[in-house]
Amino acid sequence: MYYLRLVTASSFAALIAACAGLGGAPLPRTAPNALEAPRLGARSITWGIGLSGLISETVPKGLGAKTDQKTFCQSGSKTGCPLFSLGKRNDRVRLHSRLAWSGGSFTSSVNPSSKLGEFSYDHTITSTSTSTHISQSAVAQTKFAWVDWLKATSATLPAGTKASFKVTTTLVPGTTKAPCNADDTESVSFNFSSNGLPGGYSSIVGGCVKGAFAYYIDKPSHPGKVIVETINGAVGQNLMIQGLGTVQGSLCAVVGCTAQSATLSGKVTYKIEALTHGVSFTTASGTSYK
């Protein structure tokens, strides 16, 4: 496994933040040197897939609390786990904690998968506790990322000719089960970004709206699961392209818990098509994004 080496230092730092567990920030809406072709060394890797996350459960123990946690790639200090890797990344993690003093329990499981142009996720968290004790919770979070370089090409148009491409980001939900009450918080967010999008990008978001889980574009007043964007470049130039996603959920409020379960699953895909007649593209990874 090789570590991914990106040309734009600020974008690399942002990708680290986005994939490094809790508190990750989204990529900047614009990137420096927006249309500069990267200088690639013989051993440079300019594409990769990232996947990280954790599940955590806290139960009362005496006058305090005990927390059980499992992480995968970058959410903890896992030796030998690269930030980005080539090929497909996936993981399956499950955790079960029992509250012996009350008969309640928590069960959390995540089954995420990431590859160039596609994310899949399956999160389930369950509580059987009805205790009013404050030291209890169940949390699950997964972060995805992929990055590649797109080069506009043409057999008939000269270098520097304007080239545009349509990018379609589509979310197909599987199971959506969210109680959306005081003891439950669930959300998803997915987007595509590129230095060929100088005006910024939109996100497909899922979250509780007025007591029910809803999917929308950027804000609840715009329901939807598909985003169509246009990236602009020129023949012979390289554009960085990337997808990011976050899925997270938690059970239990500040005081106490409710016996309930929440599940979010689905798949996000990215499709790229040339809009300029006579223009096509190649990618550093060889992926066609159809």
Residue ranges of domains in the chain: 9-283
pLDDT in tens, 28-68: 222 222 223 333 333 345 789 888 888 888 877 777 778 88
Distance, CA of 215 to CA of 280 (rounded, Å): 33
| DSSP state for residue 223 in the 8-state scheme | B
| CA-based radius of gyration for the chain | 21
Average of pLDDT values for 234-256?
91
User: What is the distance, to the nearest Å, from the Cα of residue 145 to the centroid of all Cα atoms in its chain?
Assistant: 5
Res. 187: pLDDT tops 90: yes
pLDDT in tens, 70-104: 887 755 545 556 666 777 777 777 877 776 656 67
pLDDT of 175 reads 96
**What pTM did the predictor assign?**
0.81
3-state helix, strand, coil in the chain (%, to 5): 5, 55, 45
CB 123 within 8 A of CB 266: no
Question: Is the per-residue pLDDT at 180 higher than 50?
Answer: yes
